[in-house]
Amino acid sequence: MPEFFREILPLVNDKALYTILKSYVDFRIGILSQFLEREKDVDRIRELQGAIAELRRFHTLREEAIESIAQQERSVYE
């Protein structure tokens, strides 16, 4: 998994790109929230809630990537 975070580091370290990504995430969360408000089927509600939760993780993607790489580097030196 740390290899993956190294690959996405350029995306999350570029402030302009990361800002655009988070804007898109917020846009998608808004759309899914509207669907959620109108949904009656309990299974579909759970599915939408899961999708929203997964999208929200993008807001902490930078911190997650940096921490994962730091943990890997610490384990190398231990």
Range(s) of the domain holding residue 70:
2-77
This prediction has a pTM of 0.80
pLDDT of 71 above 90 = no
**What does pLDDT average to over the chain?**
91
Q: What pLDDT score does 69 carry?
A: 86
Q: When comparing pLDDT for 71 and 34, which is higher? A: 34
Q: What pLDDT score does 78 carry?
A: 67
Domain count, the chain: 1
Owner of token pair 């807001």:
59
Provide mean pLDDT across the span 48-70.
93
